[in-house]
Amino acid sequence: MKITRRDINEPMYRTVVAIRNITMKILATLLVMTTTVMVSVPGTHAGPLPAWDTLINSPVRFKVLAGFNGAAVLDRETGLVWERAPGNTDEDRDIDADDAKTWFAAQDFCHQTRVGNRNGWRLPTVQELTSLLDPTQNSPALPIGHPFVNIGTNYWTATTRAANPDTAWTVEFFVGSIVAPLKTDLAFVWCVRSGNSGPEGQ
């Protein structure tokens, strides 16, 4: 209901108008703050978050993050942050059989790992990990000019195969294929960091 000077006396009318104006300013400020938080990711990029609808076919797609001591890489195409040297779970600087884990152990490893002095990592979904594949390349099947080092062969994803819950999808980076071994089998680990749990949360 609209309030006019005829409804209440002059001092009260001025008070009501002042309160209304202050309330509108507060609401406008909150809207701007909320929008800024939703579309910006501090330390990586500003502006709208990637919507997975743009292809970046050049080395500029990837950015080694100095804030993570060079140990993490931002994929500008998806907005995901990846380990730069994945799979070396025993920290001996070599990717070998000792680094392979079961699907269950791979989940635990990512949840507890620290890369670039930051926690908050997880096992990627099959959609996320396959987004790194370049079908025109092999050994590894990654885009030309990528900054990743010490890439192994088969890496776990967090995605269980719908046809058999005892298996989970892995990505084979030498030829760019995906297979679904038993979760008790061994594969390497490549952790990811993002502002959400991905297309298929864990």
The pLDDT score that the predictor gives to residue 57 is 83
Which residues touch 94 (CB under 8 Å, ≥6 apart)?
88, 150
- Give the whole-angstrom CA distance, residue 199 versus residue 127: 7
For residue 141, the number of C-alpha atoms closer than 13 Å in the C-beta half-sphere is: 19
H/E run at residue 200: none
* 24, 47, 63 from 36: Cα distances, Å: 19, 9, 23
- Give the whole-angstrom CA distance, residue 182 versus residue 102: 9
pTM of structure: 0.71
Which residues touch 136 (CB under 8 Å, ≥6 apart)?
none
The pLDDT score that the predictor gives to residue 88 is 72
- Give the whole-angstrom CA distance, residue 41 versus residue 198: 15
- Give the whole-angstrom CA distance, residue 92 versus residue 62: 26
The pLDDT score that the predictor gives to residue 94 is 67
The pLDDT score that the predictor gives to residue 56 is 86
Length of the chain: 202
Here the tokens at position 124 are 């990627």
pLDDT tier at 87 (50, 70, 90 boundaries)? confident
As beta bridge partners, residue 177 has 172
Peptide bond preceding 59: is omega within 30 degrees of 0, i.e. cis? no
Least confident of 88-97, 165-174, 178-187: 88-97
Q: Is the pLDDT at 33 greater than 60, yes or no?
A: no
Radius of gyration of the chain (CA): 24
CATH architecture of 59-193: Roll (3.10)
As beta bridge partners, residue 188 has 155
Outline where DSSP puts E strands in 48-99.
62-64, 72-75, 81-83
Q: Are 28 and 113 in contact (CB under 8 A)?
A: no
pLDDT tier at 127 (50, 70, 90 boundaries)? very high
